[in-house]
Structure 1
């Protein structure tokens, strides 16, 4: 009996140790929503290389800069960019003040729910929509409008708030990088004033670390003597394609050592980051999961990945397979 009792205690102790070890391993996994594979290992090994003082690739903390595209890289971008969804909703909200929109395209199509006709207006028509909905108010008023929209608007397929359609695996990457001394920046073609009201709450990225397309603002004194900035219907800077390296240089001042994108609009940013001295890592998020999100690349009008896909394949840049690398896509519903 004593022998059986002793063996039972020993077995119990061994089981407890194994469970503790398994728990410790789970706690130390910096990317728990990622499947173990080459892409996850590429990220982890890169961070270990540049943060270990014994490594020949060690990078001092001030130089640990990470750049992330936003649309399609940090959150969903289909069936259209979410900033356009905001603009479409603003057209409906502002329509009572503009009765002429009922018979003027592309406003008429949007008010009638005809997105196909509205999209046929092309870049000029979409720019007109953005101008009409993103100017003529103070920067504070616009930020408040954006925050209100993120609390109420819902995605047409997933029926969740747009800010809930962020990618859980990418949230973990940003947290992992920051825990290892990196500053994380958004470098996006989206509007800087559209992103800044919510990026800190959703991504942990403060507004001063958001680089994006911007419009002209004008300083004024209102009728009550209060200083304010008013958004004008003029484009100041487009942070897309070749504009992204320029935006990094102008607004960050250091070349990132790691960058994430998902489309041809990110190609020049990834080329710029990869060309720097020392250890570098650039990655593309590849949308190949139609069941949990969307599947698209070369033929897509939104988030087209064609030239960038060729370059990634030619240069060995890791492709993050949404289908194979990610255990989950979006965070659990709140």
Structure 2
């Protein structure tokens, strides 16, 4: 079934029958088969990109930022992201890919902040107009009279140095990525369990950082133990880019890859460490981590340690206990717990 924002676009299907269009971060890829016209998909989330490829491979792109060497677009529709700064970055990116006097639009749910979008659009275009509102959603457009010449994603980045146990680590972050402009307290607590130099030096084999975000976890292990082979993955192209830049800033090496959960992970690990997500957009989604725990067991060797941090209210201990041979709670605060399972 189409998401509510996609249903609103379908109400305005005639818009897409003329000219060249792009949909940015669509919540579902079924919309591409429902609309007729020349429509390209730009995705920052790997699961949606993979789904788009199954429909029409040459019409879907996955990256942190969108560059288009072909003819500019007559119109682009951005699905409203969770973070306001993420939308600003997307608007700037798309504004330079549109023909003069082309349309830049945003679609989203009222509870997601679509009503504040006209104010954001004032920085990019003129003739701001709410085209439609239904199904608790809105579709807002503006006209781009003079497209921007370039877009540089690094202008939206923040680089900060954090003290991680006894080590200084530079971290690159972008809007829309977990850990942007902060050292998340849950991640801090998790890494505090890996602060003893002797224990760190004794770690061997392969280490996996699931849902790596800005790359702080995987980069820390790559820094403190050069013998570890570190792999980091995330579903977000922005997170992949941030993790790659964090590694470069610290002159570290690790494998960074896009993956929907652990679907693209085809190796086994001696250490799996994560601050896993429990949101999918605006909704709580516990199934992501529950699937991760199950998949982590299948990618573990005998004796592998899975160590995660989670909010205390999340129901993960029972899943780790059911799946792994041994279970421990390493640390508790009034907000977080660090859990460990051993295969």
Say yes or no: TM over 0.5: no
Q: Which of these two proteins has the greater Rg computed from alpha carbons? A: 1
TM band (smaller chain): 0.3 to 0.5
Point out the structure with the larger strand share: 2
Higher helix share: 1
TM-score of the superposed pair, with normalisation by structure 1 = 0.35
